[in-house]
Amino acid sequence: MSAVTDWSTAPAADIAAAFAAGAVTAHAVTEAALARIACLDGRVNAFTDVVAERALGRAGALDAARARGEAPGPLAGVPFAAKNLFDIAGLPTRAGARINRAHPPATRDAALIARLEAAGAVLVGALNMGEYAYDFTGENVHDGNTLNPHDLGHMSGGSSGGSGGAIAAGLVPLALASDTNGSIRVPSAFCGCFGLKPTYGRLSRAGTFPFVGSLDHLGPMARTTLDLALAYDALQGPDAADPVATTRPPEPVTPHLTEGAAGLRIAVAGGYFARGGEADAFEAVAHCARALGITRTVEIPEAARARAAAYLITAAEGAALHLDRLRTRARDFDPAVRDRLIAGAMLPAPFVERAQRFRRWYRTAVLALFETVDVILAPSTPCRAPRSGQATFVLDGVELPVRPNIGLFTQPISFVGLPVAAVPVRLDGGLPLGVQVIAAPWREDLALRVAHHLEREGFSRAPVAALEQA
């Protein structure tokens, strides 16, 4: 056995390497993760369900397979958890909603859970989220708010708040999340961890509860870029069960991670992405630009209009999905979610049609930028994590509601499905900030190479929050 006795906060890559070498058992690692969850999650509220019996059974099977001489998978023995809009066999798929928890339990796991387990990972539970993923704060009126592990008085970000909280608290090294308008990138920024929103259609959404079909992405979150890359590679592959999933074969990124940023054409997003936020948000981008030795600026055209169009399409598609529930179970919704869905249901059809036409133009214009640039840097959020329950903040001298405006820098990017690596930045020891590393479609490898370079050179890091001392 290894001299290391506490594997509960170890990186996924270290766990998998130790398991493959026979230095630790999957059972020991799983027990350590479950013990840490039991000890600390009451303060963070990242988990809604813990599947301890399943996890220990899976760990035992991995240990037995290794004893038989079977080759371990690339994530063998690594604990992970999934946002509770992923189907988990034996559990109702909550999607953060009161209504859903009365549904029959799922009969099989979501495709991405199955793929991580095929790579040897061990599912330990389901994670808290904003109701029906219509959230940027990490707040949930049914299951309670997920709090920021770096300061429990602040938001975790949403809607994948449980995923960000679990990673930052060291409860698991890997988490599955979703991102429609920013729900991986916002909690990655607020909680100080790495995240990947892949190209639209890159990863299968089969077995998950939808929000906006034309905008929904799934992806991993982690505390290191290597862990993020290992998880992403295990998740890739076509899936006929998701009608928008790509038929492209897997394109592994882990072998290219250490190639670094040399030779890449990198620019900072100006214009819309250089105003409307607090100074620290832009300093985080400048910090990364200095680390990469870049001074070039590009402007993403009509980004403000793209955000407005994304709002229209989100509201209209979300309302259409929930229309029957709104008619029959309106009182069971979070009022803030319900009211926005009702507003979406009343949008005039010509407004949505114009937004879709604009979307086609905008995609062409944005893709043209990548003829002269490989990667674009932009802030993830306009500020550090607001206080839990905070309703308004001041941006550019204007008081604005927090909930809809946290995603003002993420929405114009997911609107056309670009891949983004979310990079955490700690400028002064205070709460983290985040930077989006944006690439052309299907070039997750470039975004992750830049993210890994920033991590390797010490300009980006994702430490475990010191909850034990808090």
Strand ranges inside 283-350, DSSP E:
297-298
- 41, 101, 162, 465 from 48: Cα distances, Å: 10, 11, 9, 20
Q: 228 pLDDT exceeds 50? A: yes
Residue 321 to residue 379: CA distance in whole angstroms: 31
pLDDT beyond 50 at 4: no
pLDDT of residue 467: 86
Q: What are phi and psi of 186, to 5 degrees?
A: -70, -55
Give the pLDDT confidence of 195-206 residue by residue, as tens digits.
999 999 999 999
Q: What is the mean pLDDT of residues 364-369?
A: 98
Kindly report the backbone phi and psi dihedral angles of residue 310, in degrees, each rounded to the nearest multiple of 5, phi listed first.
Answer: -60, -40
**pLDDT band at 33, cuts 50/70/90?**
very high
Cite the active site residues.
83, 159, 183
Average confidence (pLDDT) over 348-376: 97
pLDDT band (50, 70, 90) for residue 1:
very low
pLDDT (average), residues 430-439: 97
**pLDDT by residue (tens digit) across 140-158?**
999 999 999 999 999 999 9
Mean pLDDT over all residues of the chain? 96
Q: Are the C-beta atoms of 11 and 75 separated by less than 8 Å?
A: no
pLDDT tens sequence across 283-332: 999 999 999 999 999 999 999 999 999 999 999 999 999 999 999 999 99
